[in-house]
Amino acid sequence: MQNQAEITKQSTPVMATYNRFPITLVNGKESYVWDDEGLEYLDFTSGIAACNLGHSPQYVKDRLIDQMNGLWHCSNLYHIPAQEKLAEALVNISCGDQVFFCNSGAEANEAAIKLARKYSQLVLGNEDSEIITFTQSFHGRTLGALSATGQQKIKDGFSPLVKGFKHLPFNDLDGLDEIDPQKTCAVLLELVQGEGGVVPADEEWLQKLASICRKNNLLLMADEVQTGIGRTGAMFAYEHYGIEPDVLVLAKGLGSGIPIGAIVAKKHVASCFTPGTHGTTFGGNPLASTAGLATLEYIQHEKIVEHAGRMGEYFHKRLSQLAKEVNGIAAVRGKGLLLGLETENAMEIVKQAHKHHLLLLPAGPNVVRILPPLTVNIEEIDKAMEVLKTIFKKHDQS
């Protein structure tokens, strides 16, 4: 006899590409969401780092309403004022010079990959070069982005993959010796691997990698889809390491939940994109650009990045103390408000948290990923800590 979950899965017109939790969310405000039964949850997933200002931030909402009273969409064949302003804002706060807008992180990584290929041909004079990526990385689910991804489970069933990627071990100093400058045009990496287990880049390793890129005129491309826009306690995670990527990949938190993606590139790289080489219908349209611009304005005016850094430090200390008190946490890692708990069964911890009305995420089988909004306060962190303490102490007793 079929259970209700199986019947629902078979009868829904939505393709079964997700194993969804048995929760139906219908409303949200700041750090909280409510389901269709009126139950309240403390949301420490932030739409997988997309809702950096919490749910339905009033400042962004007001700006979107103003824009909706005007033009919602037009193609990129025309100048879009909000897009120009957002590009200028991103250039002003980053190490880049020009911006290309799209709709998601995967599309932004695709644009970065295409830009690297163009750079290889036009600047390096190489039409058959590789892009280096790393094991346990995650760059998206389009065919090019999943080919760049260093996790086999993402690729299973989708052969033949896009050629031209070489995966090296993450945070392995000796592994960098395998980079052949004659066969390479770019390196694409996350500064903190999110889906791969919340693993920050080792500083010595990253400095060596950046040095290799500089010496050999290879592009250093930072995938900051999850870490960008204040998530790690800096506007961009590369700032923690004292490096400057040639290409910066953004999405998620840039739009406060409105779909948007972008690459920010240094001028000598951006110039490889000329009219007709790349494009998008919806990317950078008036609504998405307005959301992005309002998000950045609020973050800067209210000093949200600094706040996120303080809250991240406080949360990390609380989690580290809990790890000393219980047996179920092997390690606490991450930066800012992108935190991970290494444990035996991450999914079980996430499900137990649901029973206590706390939303968390797995990052692989053995890491619980914690992504509160950057506006989170100490009271909310303490509330989450009480739930985690209850779960892990019960785990120790079982």
For residue 159 the two structure tokens come to: 């052969």
Q: Which residue has the tokens 């010595």?
A: 204
Phi, psi of 332 (to 5 degrees): -120, 125
Residue 225 assigned ligand-binding role = yes
Residue 138 marked ligand-binding: yes
Q: Identify residue 249 by its one-letter amino acid code.
A: V
3-state class percentages of the chain: helix first, strand second, coil last, to nearest 5: 40, 20, 40
CA geometry: angle at 197 spanning 395 and 42, to 5°? 60
Q: Which residues pair with 33 in a beta bridge?
A: 28, 41
Closest to 332 measured CA to CA, from 197, 227, 154, 179: 197
Distance (Å, whole) CA 282 – CA 76: 8
Find out whether 141 is annotated in a ligand binding site: yes
Q: Does residue 156 have a known ligand-binding role?
A: no
Ordered alpha helix ranges (H), the chain: 4-11, 46-49, 58-68, 81-93, 105-119, 143-148, 152-155, 203-216, 267-270, 286-301, 304-325, 346-355, 378-397
Would you tell me the crossing angle of helices 58-68 and 286-301 to the nearest 10 degrees? 150
Cβ(361)–Cβ(354) under 8 Å? no
Distance from CA of residue 289 to its chain's centroid? Answer: 18
Phi, psi of 361 (to 5 degrees): -130, 150
Query: What DSSP string runs through 310-331?
Result: HHHHHHHHHHHHHHHH-SS--E
Residue 160: asked if its preceding bond is cis (omega within 30°), the reply is yes
SS3 of residue 382 by DSSP: helix
Q: Edge-to-edge strands of the sheet including 331-335?
A: 331-335, 338-342, 367-370, 361-362
194 phi-psi bin (left φ>0, alpha ψ -120 to 50, beta other): alpha
Per the annotation, binding residues are: 105-106, 138, 141, 223-226, 280-281
Binding-site residues from annotation for N(2)-acetyl-L-ornithine: 141, 280
Annotated binding residues for pyridoxal 5'-phosphate:
105-106, 138, 223-226, 281
